[in-house]
Amino acid sequence: MSLIFLKNIYKIYNVGGEEVRALDGVDLTIKENEYLAIMGPSGSGKSTLMNMVGCLDTPSSGDYEFEGEKVHNMDDNQLASIRNRKIGFVFQTFNLLPKATAQHNVEIPLVYANIKREKRLKMASNALASVGLDDRMHHKPNELSGGQRQRVAIARALVNNPSLILADEPTGNLDSKSGQEIMNIFDTLHQNGNTIVLVTHEDSIASHANRTIRLFDGKIIEDVAK
């Protein structure tokens, strides 16, 4: 069974009376343990597609099934619950809470999943350990390097064992060495059975994935598997 099933997805914005087709009839199936890179020029709809897959956004029209459940019919609370339990997000700008420690940042999805404190602390430390930050648990974001911050964000995405990890240009704000470290972590996650979708501009990053799709003007124009 496929993890993600998108059929004939449109996302249409109306800007000043003019129609912008951010997604223009996208069909996409993602299987479990796939490692997918989304590429394409700026404005081609990569982020829009990723947000759609991540249940942050709903399509203007089209069908979307996540693990066999029809997402396009769900209300906000159901979408929030899917994001909370099934999906881990990694953002280009890290999006950590500046005043919270690494551990607390990683805890947040567990708070919304209503998990008890002791268990939360343990799960958060384990997740941080798995990205090699066991010695930085009580640091705040401004006490961490960019690469370390992104590792905290990955730990946060991992912490509730999601079915899918989504990363929108995760190395976009990092130097190449830190970027390489981050990609190594994604590779390991993939080897451990996780399903990963990442958006990137760089071929060197996309080369880590085993399947690459290319968007242009909201359409998938290329879909190649390694």
Ligand X SMILES: Nc1ncnc2c1ncn2[C@@H]1O[C@H](COP(=O)(O)OP(=O)(O)OP(=O)(O)O)[C@@H](O)[C@H]1O
Which residues contact another protein (rule: CB under 8 A)? 51, 54, 56-57, 76-77, 80-81, 83-85, 89, 91, 95, 97, 99-100, 108-109, 111-117, 156
Nearest approach in angstroms of CB 22 to ligand X is 3
Please return the burial class of 68, using the count of CB atoms within 10 Å of its CB with bins 0-12, 13-18 and 19+.
exposed
As a whole number of angstroms, the distance between CA 122 and CA 124 comes to 5
Tokens of 186: 């994604």
Residue 50 Cβ vs ligand X, minimum distance, rounded to whole Å: 8
Q: Which is closer to Mg ion, CB of 144 or CB of 167?
A: 167
- Which of 45, 62, 147, 162 touches ligand X (CB under 6 A)? 45
Candidates 2, 7, 12, 20: give the one binding ligand X (CB under 6 A): 20
Q: Which two tokens stand for residue 120?
A: 């939360």
Backbone angles phi, psi at 172, to 5 degrees: -60, -30
Question: Residue 116's binding partner, choosing from another protein, ligand X, Mg ion, none, with beta-carbon cut-off 5 to 8 A by kind?
Answer: another protein
Among 26, 44, 102, 149, binds ligand X (CB under 6 A): 44
Comparison of 40 and 141: residue with beta carbon closer to Mg ion: 40
Residues 214/40, Cβ–Cβ less than 8 Å: yes
Q: Which residues pair with 196 in a beta bridge?
A: 35, 165
CA torsion through residues 51, 57, 88, 151, sign = positive
Residues that bind ligand X (CB under 6 A): 13, 15, 20, 22, 40, 42-48
